[in-house]
Structure 1
Amino acid sequence: MPKLVRLYISSVLCGFALAAVFVALLLALDVAGLRHLVLDTRSGWLGGLLLVVFNGIVFAGVQFGIRIMRMAEPEDEPPSGRRLRAAPLLQPVPVPVRQPRR
C-alpha cells in the first residue's frame, strides 16, 4: 500500500476516534440538552450517529491537512521557535536634493 494511502487511512481513523470522544463528551456534559435528545427520544440514536459521522469527516480532514502540511517543512532550516539572526541592515546614505530659489 502506498505511503500516502496509509497516511490518509490513519488520519481518518484518528479523526473518527476524536469525533467519538468529542460526541461522548458532548453527551456526558449534556451540552444544549443533547443527552436528552439522543438518549430519551425514539430516533435519537440517529442524531448521535450523524454527530459522530459528520464530526468524524471534519476531524479526519483536519488531521490529514495537518499531517500533509507538516511534511512540507524543510529539514535544513532550524525548528520553529528558533530564528536565525537577520543580516545587518544597510546604512542609509544621504541624497542631496536641490531646492529652487524663491
Structure 2
Amino acid sequence: MPKLVKLYIMQSFVGFALSTAFVGMLLWFDVARLWYLVTHTSAGPLAVFLLWLFNGIVFAGVQFAISIMRMEEKEIDPGAGGPKVRLEPQPVLAKVDTKRNVLSPRN
C-alpha cells in the first residue's frame, strides 16, 4: 500500500478518535443542553451518531492536512549537479488588428 494512503488512513483514525473525545465532552459538559436533548427524544442516538460522523470527517481532514503540511521538503543542493537552467525573459511581439481590436501573434 502506498505511504500516502497509509498516512491518510492513520490520520482518519486519529480524526475520528478526536471526534469521539469532542462529542463526548459536548455531552459530558451538557453544552447547550445537548445531553438533555439527545436523551429525551427518539432521534437522540441518530443525532449523536451524525454529530460524531460529521465532526470525524472534519477532524480527519484537518489531521491529514496538518500532517501533509508538516512534511519536510529536502532542499536541493545547488552544487549537487543536475542541469543548470537559466531563465531569461524574452520579448514577445504581437500585432494588433485595429479593425477587430484583436491581438494576434506575429509570425
Same fold (TM over 0.5): yes
Runs of 4+ in 1 over 2 A off after TM superposition: 72-76
Distance between the aligned counterparts of 1:75 and 1:60, measured in 2? 29
Name the structure 2 match of 1:43: 43
Alignment of 1:1-102 (within 5 A): 1-74=1-74
Name stretches of at least 5 consecutive residues in structure 2 with no aligned partner. 77-107
Structure 1, gaps ≥5 residues long = 77-102
Q: Please give the TM-score of this superposition, normalised by the length of structure 2.
A: 0.67
Query: Cα deviations across residues 12-64 of structure 1 (Å, max 9, x unaligned)?
Result: 00000000100000000000010011122111101000100000000000000
Which structure carries more relative contact order (alpha carbon 8 Å, separation 6+)? 1
Is the deviation greater in 65-74 or in 46-55?
Answer: 65-74
Amino acid at match of 2:6: R
Give the partner amino acid of 1:68. I
Q: Which has the higher strand share?
A: 2
Q: How big is the alpha-carbon RMSD for the aligned residues of Structure 1 and Structure 2?
A: 1.6
The TM-score, its normalising length taken from structure 1, stands at 0.70
